[in-house]
Amino acid sequence: MSAEAPEHVDDRTLEGWIARQRWYAAKGGTPALHTIAETDGTRLVLDDAATGPVLYQVPVVAGSGGGAVDPVDATTDTDWVQQLAARIDADPSSLRPIGEVTASRVLSGEQSNTSVICDTASGDRVITKVFRVLHHGDNPDVTTQLALSAAGSSRVPTVYGAQQASWPDPGRPDGTATGHLAFAQEFLPGLEDAWRVALRDARTGTPWDEQAAALGEALAEVHRTLATALPTEPADDARRDAAIATMRGRLDAAVREAPTVEPHVDAIRAVYDRAAASHWPDLQRIHGDLHLGQVLAAPAPRGWVFLDFEGEPLRPLAERSLPDSTLRDVAGMLRSFDYVAGALAHDAEFVDAGAWAQAARQAFLDGYRRGTGDDLTDHRALLDAFELDKAVYEVVYETRNRPDWAGIPLAAVARLAADGAA
């Protein structure tokens, strides 16, 4: 298939096609598209959807068909993927050349982006992520992993590079927006994520003390590297107040949607008050949405490898790039261990993994403390607040999507609130 110019597919024809794509955000809506730019071998289209305007990256090549030309996703075209690889190699931020792409295939199942597995002439296998929804500003998934890889860290897949571009944006003072279009890194096939490994071991009662401790040490290593590779800043009053205000706002919203939280509100607020008054460590770049599913189990000596540094999907892109507390990542992992036990309690064959999860939580904290050299007891109030905030969010999520599972985070809310009151 030749990479024919995308302008041969008009916007009206594209509307019907884009509505059927997994990554189209306004599911069930009727797209109202207009192309705003053809930049660096791709097409940027603005959708004036009823839910709000969204800018998409839509690389298409012209397919066959009578009358209007049928669009074909260019990510399925190896010639186009080769051109993309060349643009990534040419970007000033790139660290390692991809070189010639000899074969490619789209990874199925993704919802929000499109990832392409590339075989290369050098023998390397590269996964290139094409971002579908575009925003002005640096994508933290790109900049964080670029910084880690440039620092020589093996805790992320080796980064090859990224592609940035600019496009018209009348809403900005200079009329131009700039952001990331694509990102290429090492492909690690056949590795299980930590969630699957933990579930299997918890189901059989296999202790996870060693694995959890190594995971804590690996996260500490990531945090140490990021603190030297990217800016840090003190947690001043404004930043602390904003973080606590977000927690309180999420709690108020949760009570309205999940009334089961209401009996614990006073105790939760007391935990937040203590966190607000406590000493906060310096803020820095973090993962931002960490759980066991974001970590791969690589063979020794490499060990745990972290993925997907985009941060919380519901937060604005600009906020996700701001320095934050490392304890947010620690809390996210603690909640994930709790979910292992909760998932097994809901399994067809009930397994009581409560003691397993508690031991894994403690081993993880011990490993993280050894890796940082910091005594987490000095920041216990803040860590409890972050974990409570995450659990409150989970109660709302489960109430909306899996009501039978709402008891998992609700039990954590009750426990953490009670511990905070003790």
DSSP 8-class letter at 281: P
- Distant-in-sequence, close-in-space partners of 238: CB < 8 Å, separation ≥ 6: none
Q: What pLDDT, on a 0 to 100 scale, did the predictor assign at position 108?
A: 86
What is the rounded CA–CA span in Å between residue 139 and residue 233?
20
Which of 186, 215, 238 is the endpoint of a domain? 186
- Whole-angstrom CA distances from 384 to 108, 182, 213 are 38, 37, 20
Residue 178 lies in a domain: yes
Residue 351 lies in a domain: yes
Which of 163, 186, 209 is the endpoint of a domain? 186
Low-confidence ranges of the chain (pLDDT < 50): 1-7
**One domain for residues 200 and 180:** no
**One domain for residues 76 and 166:** yes
Q: What pLDDT, on a 0 to 100 scale, did the predictor assign at position 6?
A: 47
Backbone angles phi, psi at 257, to 5 degrees: -95, -30
Residue 1 lies in a domain: no
**One domain for residues 229 and 334:** yes
Which of 186, 212, 242 is the endpoint of a domain? 186
For residues 126 and 95, the answer to whether their CB atoms sit within 8 Å is: no
**One domain for residues 123 and 269:** no
Residue 29 lies in a domain: yes
Q: What pLDDT, on a 0 to 100 scale, did the predictor assign at position 28?
A: 82
Range of the domain at 109: 6-186
Q: What pLDDT, on a 0 to 100 scale, did the predictor assign at position 127?
A: 97
**One domain for residues 290 and 370:** yes
**One domain for residues 198 and 181:** no
**One domain for residues 300 and 396:** yes
**One domain for residues 152 and 199:** no
DSSP 8-class letter at 386: H
3-state secondary structure (DSSP) of residue 233 = strand
- Exposed/middle/buried for residue 23 (C-beta within 10 Å: 0-12, 13-18, 19+): middle
What is the rounded CA–CA span in Å between residue 9 and residue 21?
16
What is the rounded CA–CA span in Å between residue 417 and residue 336?
18
Residue 255 lies in a domain: yes
**One domain for residues 182 and 217:** no
Q: How many residues does the chain have?
A: 422
Q: Helices marked H in 52-193 — which ranges?
A: 78-90, 140-150
Q: What pLDDT, on a 0 to 100 scale, did the predictor assign at position 7?
A: 47
Residue 149 lies in a domain: yes
Residue 291 sits in a domain whose CATH number is: 3.90.1200.10
Q: Helices marked H in 164-232 — which ranges?
A: 194-204, 209-229
**One domain for residues 109 and 209:** no
**One domain for residues 49 and 131:** yes
**One domain for residues 172 and 254:** no
Would you tell me the crossing angle of helices 209-229 and 354-372 to the nearest 10 degrees?
40
Residue 381 lies in a domain: yes
Q: What's the number of domains the chain is made of?
A: 2
Backbone Cα Rg of the chain: 23
Residue 272 lies in a domain: yes
DSSP 8-class letter at 133: B
